[in-house]
Structure 1
Amino acid sequence: MLLHVTRPGVVAPVAVDPTGLTGPTRKQARGPRWRGTSANRFVPAGVDPTGLEQRIVEAIAGAPDGAAVTGWAALAWNGGRWFTGTTATGAPMPVPIAIDDHRTLVRVPGALACHDWLFDGEVTTVDGIPITVPERSLSFALRRALSDRSAIELIDMAYFDDLTSPELFGRHLARLRSRPGVRRARRAFGRADENAWSPMESVMRCLWEEAGLDLPLTNPPVFDRDGKHLLTPDLLDPTAGVAGEYYGAVHAGLGPRRRDLVREDLYRDTGIELVPMMSTDMRDTGQFVRRLHRAYGRASARGADPDRRTWTLEQPDWWVDTSTVERRRALSAYERATWLRHRS
């Protein structure tokens, strides 16, 4: 497949050109100045093959006409920032390429040929390469997820960058029948949240739900009775007054820790029980669940009257709600810069 990539910083592989104008001559292609990416496709030797977008382009360049990038790679190319193309151990994942049953894909390093269904209208071109639309890309990834929890995380992170919405994705899932993995995709769809801001928030929410507790709200803004914004917990059960916060690597260092202490004081002042989750809790998630149950016990023993709380979830007139994909898509460029700066 010959590509005309328009994305800066990405080099499209080219075929041998006897004139040397649009690609290397056969002799040049065998020399040290060019690197082969697939059959009769070459890039200059200095092009880094490990970059995410470069890997995607080199994979699809070796595919036949009519093929398209799909799954995590299509979501990443479309702007999904949490689709990094690596496993939990940091190993690169192969780029899934959707091709129909009548074509074959000559072995391309770093590519995974997927003979799978494609409905009409499910392939589009973005910055010069063919990719499947977000709904199809996401369902492909979900049907190959290793667990319900990881599938929920995939949907949450597709919502995070507004790649699709619950309405659009739900409509797409309704078209799928007895495909392998569809049941998992539908279960995950029913538990996904369009206001999660990171994968670990998705994990923490799943643990919360699996612990038999009421499903918390995701990133709800909390205000005082005068309409001043106090904080936005990662998770909050407003009935019990219990919040969850994930403390990852970005919380390391004196500066972040100082900000965390200020937030912890705010939680104490408002009477909300805070349950932190650390990255090390993933080695034994039971530790987080036990802390969560103890927090619910303390909140219940305190028995605070909800009508006498100093905080509220009622949004003042000046606040702009960005909790859904539909609301975020409706924002102007200025409003996005103002109200979604936490996503930068």
Structure 2
Amino acid sequence: MDLHPFRGARFAATSAARRQFALLEMSGLWINGRGARRARQSVGMEHSEPLPFGKAFTVREARMNGVSRSRLRRQDLRAPFHGVRMQIPPPDIDGIDDPYEHQRRARVTTALEYAPRLHTGHFFSHQTAVSIYGGPLPLQLDDQQRPAPSDALALHVCAWGSVPLPRTTGVTAHRSRVGMTEVREHSGFRVSSPAATWASLGELPVMDLVALGDYFCRRWRPGIGRRHVGRAPLCTVDELQLMMDAGRRRGIARLREALPLIREDAWSPRESRLRCMLVAAGLPEPELNIDVFDAHGSFLGCVDMVYPGERVIVEYLGMLHGKQWARDVERTAALRAAGWTVIEVTSVLLHTPEVLIRRIRAALGLLR
């Protein structure tokens, strides 16, 4: 559902205020006239009881509802941005081993903290929007080439049309013409559409644009053990094309190079990059995520990439642990027993592309 930046803003704000007043009236904390000061002191809640708001709220909202300044300075409230308070501690993401997922969660957390002060003519965009959609991004590194910490990841907020830019510490501000973007609600956030988000990231390398496009355009097809069958893709390749052509884009050459390489059946960014590497080396493009059966019709597994005519399978090996590793070992043994050549691609092999390409060429019978 696309949203206009201003439509209904006054009514939404009024409804929110009325809900807050109703909560205060029900709790006996709202008193008109001479009792207002006593009401504010009561709302101050000397014992740091939870306030009658959501997880995050603005200081202005709280003051309008009689919350004292001293209550807003209590240690049980966090102030992630100027004018915002939160009643919950930040989520613990330190235990996430995958640095890509760690950075994605950190961006979403920052967006959640900023959301209460998001102007009706503003929306989350660029890398922040990608993370809200759960999409892949290249790892951001610090000066020592280590994964950047959470506080080094920018929060991207875009102003629509002539709306004033956001001017807040910690926010990277953008502006977009109305005709060059679309806005929708996703997971409770006001965010640029998948197609508009992709088209705004032309500064990314081509392979990363392909991986992101693959994610947005994935079709959830039927197959053995597959989840979310029939779920609509977040967008289509045609929608990416329309947004790319809507106006002048930064990095347009990379966007144009990436668009024809996007596929609807890729399941992970690492598979997307591996496929692009094979095609760039002149190898035939493999089929993606195909269910494989033996001569008796028994299901052997769904494989990442396959050359059916040559009976060659290319599998990317991610981070495997325990039972998952054991299941993959058994599956690979069954595929080989059924007459398939299985080439397993590790992160080490991926960093020696000449060895990988030669190995696949040999399996396909293309070496001269």
Alignment TM-score, normalising by the size of structure 2: 0.67
1:27 aligned to which of 63, 67, 70: 70
**Aligned residue number for residue 167 of structure 2:** 106
1:67 CA displacement? 0.5
Query: Gaps spanning 5+ residues in structure 1: where?
Result: 5-9, 302-344
- Structure 2 vs 1, CA of residues 296 and 107 (structure 1 numbering), >3 Å: closer, same or farther? same
Q: Summarize the alignment of residues 127-206 of structure 1 with structure 2, pairs less than 5 Å apart.
A: 128-141=188-201, 143-145=202-204, 147-160=205-218, 162-173=233-244, 175-206=245-276
- Structure 2 vs 1, CA of residues 191 and 17 (structure 1 numbering), >3 Å: closer, same or farther? closer
1:139 CA displacement? 1.8
CA–CA distance in structure 1, aligned partners of residues 301 and 367 of structure 2:
22
1:58 matches 2:113: yes
2:156 and 2:172 in contact (8 A); partners too: yes
Identity across matched positions, percent:
20
1:205 CA displacement? 0.6
**Aligned residue number for residue 101 of structure 2:** none
What do residues 100-146 of structure 1 show as CA deviations (whole Å, max 9, x unaligned)? 4541212232x3211233328712234543212221122223x131x
Deviates more, 1:150-159 or 1:163-172: 163-172
Aligned length in residues: 286
1:150 CA displacement? 1.0
Relative contact order, CA 8 A, sep 6+: which one is greater? 1
1:229 partner amino acid: F
1:262 matches 2:323: no
1:144 partner amino acid: E
Aligned with 2:114: secondary structure? Answer: helix
1:13 matches 2:57: yes
CA–CA distance in structure 1, aligned partners of residues 57 and 91 of structure 2:
12
CA–CA distance in structure 2, aligned partners of residues 264 and 85 of structure 1:
30
Aligned with 1:35: secondary structure? Answer: coil
What do residues 279-327 of structure 1 show as CA deviations (whole Å, max 9, x unaligned)? 2234333332232223223x889xxxxxxxxxxxxxxxxxxxxxxxxxx
1:29 and 1:35 in contact (8 A); partners too: no
Aligned with 2:303: secondary structure? Answer: coil
2:283 aligned to which of 208, 213, 231: 213
Deviates more, 1:284-293 or 1:206-215: 284-293
- Structure 2 vs 1, CA of residues 29 and 259 (structure 1 numbering), >3 Å: closer, same or farther? same
**Aligned residue number for residue 287 of structure 1:** 355
What do residues 192-230 of structure 1 show as CA deviations (whole Å, max 9, x unaligned)? 111111111111111111221001111122234554433
- Structure 2 vs 1, CA of residues 171 and 116 (structure 1 numbering), >3 Å: closer, same or farther? closer
